[in-house]
Each structure stands twice: as C-alpha cells, then as structure tokens.
Amino acid sequence: MADSNKLIIFDTTLRDGEQSPGASMTKEEKIRIARQLERLKVDVIEAGFAASSQGDFEAIKAIAGMIKDSTVCSLSRANDKDIARAAEALAPASRKRIHTFIATSPLHMEKKLRMSPDQVLEQARQAVRFARQFTDDVEFSPEDGSRSEMDFLCRVLEAVIDEGATTINFADTVGYAVPELYGTMLRTLRERIPNSDKAIWSVHCHNDLGMAVANSLAGVMIGGARQVECTINGLGERAGNTALEEIVMAVRTRKDHFNLQLGIDATQIVPTSKLVSQITGFAVQPNKAVVGANAFAHASGIHQDGILKARDTYEIMRAEDVGWSANKIVLGKLSGRNAFKQRIEELGISLDSEAEMNAAFTRFKELADRKSEIFDEDIMALVSDEQNSHEQEHYAFVSLSQHSETGAKPSAKIAFTIAGKETTCEGQGNGPVDAIVNAIESTTKSGAELLLFSVNAITTGTESQGEVTMRLSKAGRIVNGVGADLDIVVASAKAYLSALNKLHSKTEKLNPQV
C-alpha cells in the first residue's frame, strides 16, 4: 500500500483532455506532451484509449516505450477486446496501468448501456479479472459514480477490489457533485466496503459547475482519496476536468492544511501549460489561476506598492516557483547551430534525427532574419510547425501576398502544395484573413465550417509572432489547426491548412464514453 501522505497525480490530458472537441492530437504531439509530463514528474500518464483508433494505439505504444519515470496508462471499456488492446499498447512500458470502467448510475445503466445492475456488476468483475492477467496495476472507475446508488456502488467496488483492482476512481462524470457531498460519499464508500483498504482511492471530477478542483480536494480531505485525476489547464470535455496546476499549487501552498507529499516539479507547470495550449490551440484565459498571463500581474498601484515592500503582502506563491520566467531573449541572428541545439535540449524538445534538427535550425535562421530577439516561445512554435509539416503534409503552405486598403475589398493570393504539387489561387474577402480563407477554399472546396478563429501574441511587443488557431467542423468532426508567423495573415493561412490536414487525415477516434 502506498505512503498514506503521498498524493498521486494522475494526468489525463492525453485521454480525457483529448476528448474535448478539437483537442485531438497526433502521435508526435502526444509524445511531446508525454515527455513534458514526465519532466513535470507526474506519477501516472493516461496516454490515451488504445481501442479508439490505430493512431491512439500507436501513440500509447510509443509513449510506453519512451517514458521511464511515470507509469503509463491506457483507458479501456470493460470488455476483453479493449483491455487486450490496451495491454498490447502498454507492453513496452516499464510501469503500466490498465484503467477500465463501466457506468454504474441507474440512468447510464438503463439508457446508455441497457444493462441490468447485475450484468454491470458481472462485467466489471470480469474486466478487472481479465486486466489483471496483463499487469498488477489495474484501475477501475464506476462511471457517473457520483450519481450512482450507494448500495450498488458498494457491491461493485467490493467485487472489483476482490478481483484485484488496485485503484478505485470515483468519477463525477458530469460535474454534478458538490464538495461536501462528494467527499462524504467517498468516505462512506471507504467505510462500508470491507476490502476498501486494499485499494488506493482516486477522484476524477468534471468542471460543469466550476467545482472540479474543490470537489477533488474534498475527495482528498473528507473522503481520503490519495490520487487526483487531472489535466493541464483543466482541458477536457465541456467545461473540462480538474486542473492539475490548481491542485498541485493548492496542496503545496496550503501544506499547513493538506499535509500531503507531491512528487511534482512545480517549475515545469508553466512550460507544460504553454506546450499543451500551443499544441491543442486552446488558449489559456488570462485570469486562469497559476498559468494565466495575469496570474501574477499586479495592476493596482496599492498592490504594487505592497509587493515592493514585502512580496507576501499580496503574493501567496512565487511566479518563478511555477516556472514563470521573464521572457528571456535566448537567441538571435548571430547564434549558431550549437547554441540553438543546446536551447532545444534545455527546453526538453527532442528532435528525432539530424535532418529534423537541420530543418528546425533553417527555420530558426529564417525567423532570426526577420525578428531580432528569439524567445523560448518562438522556438517552441517553430518546432511545432516543423513537426506538423512532417506529419500531415497533404496541404503545405508555400507563400502568400495580400492587399488591403481602406475603402477597398481585401484580396489575397496564396501558393500551397496539395499532395506535393504546388497550386496558386486567389480570393477576396471582408478582411485579409477572410480573403485568404476564401482563396484556399476556392481550390480545396472543403466546405468545412469555421467554428473559431483566434489570434494570440506568442511573446510581448509588436515584433511578436502571432499564433492563430482555426477550429473547423465537418461531418460531425471538429479539429483545431494552429499556425504561427510574424505575419498574422500567413499564420492564419498555416492554421487553416493545418486544420484541413487534420480533416483530411480522417483519423476517427472513438469516444470511450459515448
């Protein structure tokens, strides 16, 4: 049994976070995030749902083969096929966990599963028994647990612990719980289930009522949970999941109250947040706790005066402790390949081959010719761009020109490749970005609906690169494309083409819960 004061951080950004519409990630993107999660020292990385697609299976397998310090986990529904697939993907892992689940609330059993409670109990039991053939680290979740009946939950959870489940994850699937009730329900389960001490208890909360973090902490303090499932930036379906950074910093900052040990390296929180936001295209709101751009900004004169006299007058955490650093000018036009390579390594980015390093360095030189100061964020964006161009190259940006003038309709001309063959097209629009999208559509005719267009400055100053996210929807699929450039029209074109590439790749992922 684990140390009773250790709080296990189970990160599900790559699984539950990815279920957020548009947040679907490629294998390479998942690998980059998994490496960063290992640097953050999370205890468990839920790398995906192996049975959802061939792509997810391969991503989990690759992550399992390269992550050494964290346990790698795959989700699976409670059936042999899913579990065997999870086990196969996890085979290379030094430490592996199979996470299986089935819904236990009357509503889900009757309307979704169309199964009787006894059938659900039997399936849960069999799933855990089968999973134990592959690993002795098996987690079981009663989906919609917080809306399930206590007596039935006790029967199911006792049975799965008997079969060898080592973690029981009490899921608040629809974010319905309130802290006191959720914590008390968990405590009651632990008190009533005779073999409850054979498992570690975990919380998994969704944020529909904005209480995911509060509910998780109540589950820990009232219910005795010693694992929290969470995601970076609170990414996740609907209103998202419990935010990892908030849990970690609450437990650290209020150690006097929680008195729990964490294995996390908090200085990696902000770099991880930025990476996830950049890869998924989900911007972090400025006032977001811990990782928002304003989280440590003091605008009011009174506060600034207080901070100057004594930091702790208005600061309960130090920005540098969570990895905020003043934007550092790391490289410039005169920096050589070695300096670039060293910075890439310091940022924890691993490029697979010399050829990739050379390509990234060429991009860096091009950027440095146009921008005098290159920040870490610039390097991260150019590496993403480079990796995107490798993975999904059906459409690839070449060049563009555009004209806009007060009183005239903007026009744009773009060259891009389609399956390696260059094409040029023109368009007009209500603004330069509209013109470029119309130009691309005149050829690609994707017919996709644009759900979101957002532009963010990557760093400070008007010399900053703009990072554009375009979210497209077509035939029920939603994808995000991200592009960065000093010219925001070019960034928009890249983002649009990147989203089209994702639509083109046709990788369908199954949602485990639907």
173 lines the binding site for ligand KIV (CB under 6 A): yes
Phi–psi pair at 439, nearest 5 degrees:
-65, -45
Spatial distance between the Cα atoms of 233 and 276, rounded to a whole number of angstroms: 8
52 lines the binding site for ligand KIV (CB under 6 A): no
| Residue 28 C-alpha from the chain's centroid | 13
DSSP 180: H
Measure Cα distances from 202 to 24, 83, 500 in Å: 25, 20, 39
Quickly count: other Cβ atoms within 10 Å of residue 451's Cβ. 15
| Residue 259 C-alpha from the chain's centroid | 28
16 vs 434, beta carbon nearer Zn ion: 16
* DSSP percent split of the chain into helix, strand, coil, nearest 5: 45, 20, 35
Residue numbers 58-77 binding ligand KIV by CB under 6 A: 75
Least Å distance, CB 448 to ligand KIV, is 28
Residues that bind Zn ion (rule: CB under 5 A) add up to a total of 1
Least Cα distance to 222 among 178, 168, 253 occurs for 178
467 lines the binding site for Zn ion (CB under 5 A): no
**Choice from 57, 101, 140, 152 touching ligand KIV (CB under 6 A):** 101
Least Å distance, CB 235 to ligand KIV, is 13
35 vs 108, beta carbon nearer ligand KIV: 108
- Binding characters for Zn ion, 6-45, by CB under 5 A (x = yes): ----------x-----------------------------
168 vs 262, beta carbon nearer ligand KIV: 168
Residue numbers 135-164 binding Zn ion by CB under 5 A: none
Binding partner of residue 93 among Zn ion, ligand KIV, none, CB cut-off 5 to 8 Å per kind: none
Cα angle 49, 54, 59; round to 5: 60
Least Å distance, CB 206 to Zn ion, is 6
* Secondary structure class of 190 (helix, strand, coil): helix
Q: Which amino acid is at 230?
A: C
Spatial distance between the Cα atoms of 199 and 157, rounded to a whole number of angstroms: 10
Spatial distance between the Cα atoms of 105 and 218, rounded to a whole number of angstroms: 21
Binding partner of residue 24 among ligand KIV, Zn ion, none, CB cut-off 5 to 8 Å per kind: none
Quickly count: other Cβ atoms within 10 Å of residue 79's Cβ. 16
46 vs 467, beta carbon nearer Zn ion: 46
204 lines the binding site for ligand KIV (CB under 6 A): yes
Spatial distance between the Cα atoms of 241 and 233, rounded to a whole number of angstroms: 9
Contacts of 227 (CB under 8 A, 6+ apart): 7, 8, 9, 10, 43, 44, 167, 169, 200, 201, 202, 203
Spatial distance between the Cα atoms of 146 and 188, rounded to a whole number of angstroms: 12
4 vs 511, beta carbon nearer ligand KIV: 511
75 vs 89, beta carbon nearer Zn ion: 75
Binding partner of residue 143 among Zn ion, ligand KIV, none, CB cut-off 5 to 8 Å per kind: ligand KIV
Residue numbers 206-225 binding ligand KIV by CB under 6 A: 206
**In angstroms, how far apart are the furthest CA atoms of the chain?**
77
| Residue 395 C-alpha from the chain's centroid | 25
Binding partner of residue 77 among Zn ion, ligand KIV, none, CB cut-off 5 to 8 Å per kind: none
147 vs 343, beta carbon nearer ligand KIV: 147
Q: Which amino acid is at 69?
A: D
DSSP 322: G
Mark the segment that binds ligand KIV (CB under 6 A) among 166-174, 183-191, 320-328, 435-443.
166-174
Dihedral angle at the C-alpha atoms of 257, 263, 268, 270, nearest 10 degrees?
-30
Binding partner of residue 101 among ligand KIV, Zn ion, none, CB cut-off 5 to 8 Å per kind: ligand KIV
Mark the segment that binds ligand KIV (CB under 6 A) among 59-67, 169-177, 379-387, 479-487.
169-177
13 lines the binding site for ligand KIV (CB under 6 A): no
Q: How many residues does the chain have?
A: 514
* Secondary structure class of 117 (helix, strand, coil): helix
- Binding characters for ligand KIV, 121-160, by CB under 6 A (x = yes): --------------------x-x-----------------
16 lines the binding site for ligand KIV (CB under 6 A): yes
Spatial distance between the Cα atoms of 240 and 114, rounded to a whole number of angstroms: 27
242 vs 272, beta carbon nearer Zn ion: 242
16 vs 18, beta carbon nearer Zn ion: 16
169 vs 402, beta carbon nearer ligand KIV: 169
By CB under 5 A, name the binding residues for Zn ion.
16
By CB under 6 A, name the binding residues for ligand KIV.
16, 75, 101, 141, 143, 169, 171, 173, 204, 206, 512-513
